[in-house]
Each structure stands twice: as structure tokens, then as C-alpha cells.
Structure 1
Amino acid sequence: MALDAKELDRLLEQAFNEGTRLYQERGFQRRVGFGSRPALVSVDLANAWTRPGNPFTCDQEKMDGEIIPGMQKLLRTFRAHKLPVVHVTTAYEITDRNASFTDMGLWHDKIPVDVVNLKDRDLWAIDSRIAPIEGEYTLLKKRASAFHGTELAGILRAAGVDTILVTGVTACACVRTTICDGLADGFRTIAVKECIGDRVPGAVAWNLFDIDAKFADVHTVDECVEKIAALAG
């Protein structure tokens, strides 16, 4: 019998409580904290992930009810304080799975990245509800992490950024690997709780718990807005 959402949440909470005890006994769950100059890195909040009808479509209730409104609030804050914003998306130029050479690499052997064709701009365009404005950058990636094989670290360092607030989808893949690589590249990493989604029940809660223990500090949208305002002030 499948678990309902409330029962799944209860079991996860039980596991998290026990995990917290173990982690804290062993010195995990330390705080990396905010630095002095944050940037917002929004991962794959493009139509193929945010809108219905695509293999990559994420939980629509959370997307429409939490992620997009939370992103809108974050964007207002970053824009008001003239802080860097990077919108990240994913698409491929050679989507023939039988081709001898393709920018998909081997990833298409695991997931249907071939459906996100560079020619279909509407698929990989950032959701119009949180569309980039002048002065914000849209980064096209080919792999899970927004850092792997891209210019992201370089352009952030050139802008004096020492902290990244990471949002987007999915918690178990592109968001998580971006956070891990961001920390490895020397940035203070913040995961924004309400602005991270996935497709599978429980995936967000589990990954945020584990990320908070090992790779980033998890904060709510309101906490992030308050901290940015304090830094800017």
C-alpha cells in the first residue's frame, strides 16, 4: 500500500530527528554562514520543469504555490539591492540519441535529456513568472551542476561574490550538485527551503536535510530576505 503524504512526512521527520542526533554527535551540521556579497543562482526553473506536460515537469502544487512565489520575493530583494542573479537552464543542440557525437554526452542513457532541444526555445526559456530582466544572466548548462564545465564560478568571482543562494529543481540532482560544487569552489552555500522542488514525494525533504548536514545552510525565503537586507544596510 502506498504511503499518503502525511504518513510519509511523519516517517521522514522521525528519521530526521534520529539523524540529527547522530550527525550532531559526530560534528556535522555546522554552519557555513553568509558572507558579504551574495548572488542568487536559480537552477532549471525553465518551462520544461515548471510547466505541466513534460518528462521533466516537477510537482505542480509546490511549483505554483511555493517555488514561484518564493522566487518572486527573492528576485524583488536581489533586484532592489542590485545583487547578481544567474538564471540557469539546460538544453542540447544534438539530440539524436543515435548520433556518434552529441553534447548530451552519456546522460541521455539515463534520463530523457533529448526532449530539451535547443531549437525549441520555449522549453528551456526561464518561466515567464520569474523571467530575467536586463542585467541578469542566463546560463546554459549541459550537465547536472551549474558549475560543471561552465563559466559560473569565474563570473561570480569577478563580481566579488562570496555567497550563493541556490534555488530551483531538482533537489536530488541539479540543485544538489550545484550546491556541492559551489562549496567545493569556495562559495558559501545557502539552500532556500521553499524554492527547491522535485518530482518524487519526499525527495525535497530528504535532500534538504542531508544538504544542511553536509553542504549548505538551509534557510527560509524570509530568513534570506532579512539577511540580505541587513547586509545591504
Structure 2
Amino acid sequence: MATDRLKPMGSHPANRWRVDGTRADLSRAERKTVRAVELDAQPQTVVVDAHRSALVVVDMQNDFCAKGGYLDYRGIDITPDRAPIAPLQALIPVLRAQGVPIIWLNWGVRRDLLNMYPSLPHAHTQDGEGAGLGERIPGGAAILLKGSWGAQIVDELNPGEQDIHVTKHRFSGFWDTELDSILRNMGVCTLFFAGVNADQCVMTTLEDASFLGYDVLMLRDCVGTTSPDYCMQATEYNVKLLFGFMSNSGALINGLRP
């Protein structure tokens, strides 16, 4: 039977049937062939399939990375959290041109905070003083409230129309979100991690990704943290020892070159 008469059914080519009234083709023949990409990494050189990879950019939001945001309001130097901006500006267009999905994984809390347990607000204002999650900074926006200025991606990074957005309300982007379902539907098995803070939301998401069976690489120049240096050192150590690999944007760009 001619397959050109079958209609596609499914939101992504990697997981799409083709059907008509008498036949359902479940072979997923639209899957792309392997695009092997080799890149320098630690503890070993890595070969990945670009057609089954995605970049996950975590929390590059105004509240963490912009003047007038939550961290700035708290008097924290946001320079380390802004460091990933320039390498991401160089990397993201290359990945888009190669068809590698860009996933923006961002905080966005409910106004009523009904899915927040006490430990999470406590992590953001331990003495209960000052503005906390979902509350308005004096003269500014509500902290990490979904749809607020603080929850928006920084102006220097421009999401594309085909990019994917996932909202989270925990440090890990896999907890109680649709991220895992999206990745599996797209046939993704390798994740490159970028964003802030490297030792907190990036790391917990990377850990959960590893536990769920994804191959994980942290791009060192594309992550940042306002934590002490030893936190970043421990993060790198544990990524290489327990979960996956450390690499950088230059190695990935070089690996993608024909």
C-alpha cells in the first residue's frame, strides 16, 4: 500500500504514526539518521547524536540576571549569573541552525503559592523578612511570579519561535513538570545544560535527568553561580564523577562544524 496517502499523527517527527482508515504505520520512519558529533569533554571525549540532543537553559531570568531583579534587590552581585549570556549568544544560533532544540526552563510560581511547601519559601527568605516568592519587590516586580518581569528571560537572550518553554516551581525542572514527556516525545536522549545557578537549579535538574536515563553534559562557560567558588568546584567534581560530563560551548560548536 502506498504510504504517501497515510496522514501523520503525532506532534513531533521522532514519535509520529502515519494512518488512514485501514492502516496504522507505527514504524516512526521519519526518525532522522544518526548525526555523530565528537567533542572534547571530561572525564572523556564524548560522541553524541546531534539529532537526539537538546540544550536546556535554566533560569536565565531577570530575577537572577538583571539589575532590579530579585538577587539584585537582595544585594547579591549578579555578575557571575550574567557570565553565561555571551557564550549562549554565540552557541544558540549554531544549535538552531543544526536543528538542535533549545529548551528554556524557568521559574514561574503561582500567585497563590498553593503548590509550595514551607521549605521552599524558607529557602528564599529564611527569616521571613522582606519580599519572598510571588511577592513584589519594593518598586519592582513580583518575585519569579509566572508572567511577571522577574520571570522573563533576560533581554540579551532572544528565544526563537521554535524554542520550547517549560515552567518549573522547584529547583529541579523535572519535578511536577512536563519536561520529561516533551523530551521523550522528541526522541531526545542527550542533554546539554546551561544557565544558573550551576550548583542549585542546574545541578538538581541535571541529576534528575541522569536518574531518568538521559545522557548529561554541563557546559562550563554557559553556567554560572553566585555561590562561593567551592560550590562550583564541588559541582564540577560531582558531574564528572557521578552523573556525566563537563564540556564547553566552544567544543560543541567545533564538533558541529562539517
Task: Establish whether TM, by shorter chain, passes 0.5.
Answer: yes
Structure 2: state its 5+ residue gaps. Answer: 1-41, 125-131, 136-142
Q: 1:89-123 deviations in whole A, cap 9, x for unaligned? A: 11212357xxxxx2222211222433425365211
Q: Distance in 2 between matches of 1:39 and 1:214?
A: 21
Letter of the structure 2 residue corresponding to residue 92 of structure 1: V
Q: Deviations over 1:185-212 (max 9, x none)?
A: 1111000001111112303233122222
- Match among 49, 58, 73 for residue 43 of structure 1: 58
The answer on 1:105 being equivalent to 2:117 is yes
Relative contact order higher in (CA < 8 Å, ≥ 6 apart): 1
Query: Letter of the aligned partner of 1:103 in structure 2?
Result: N
Q: How does 1:141-180 map to 2 (within 5 A)?
A: 141-180=168-207
Structure in which a larger fraction of residues adopt helix: 1
Residue type of the alignment partner of 1:206: A
- Helix, strand or coil for the counterpart of 2:199? coil
1:31 offset after TM fit, Å? 5.0
Which aligned runs of 4 or more in structure 1 are off by greater than 6 angstroms? none
Percent of aligned pairs sharing the same letter: 24
State the SS of the aligned residue for 1:124.
coil
CA contact (8 A) 1:93 1:118 kept: yes
Larger Rg: 2
1:114 aligns with 2:134: yes
Range that drifts further, 45-54 or 190-199: 45-54
**RMSD between superposed Cα atoms in Å:** 2.2
User: How many Å separate the matches in 2 of 1:90 and 1:162?
Assistant: 23
Q: Output the CA distance in 1 between the equivalents of 2:251 and 2:155.
A: 25
- Structure 1 gap ranges (5+): 1-28, 97-101
What SS does structure 1 have at the residue aligned with 2:174? coil
TM-score in terms of structure 2 length: 0.69
For 1:124 and 1:52, the matched residues in 2 are separated by: 13
TM-score (norm 1): 0.76
What is residue 217 of structure 2 aligned with on the other side? 190
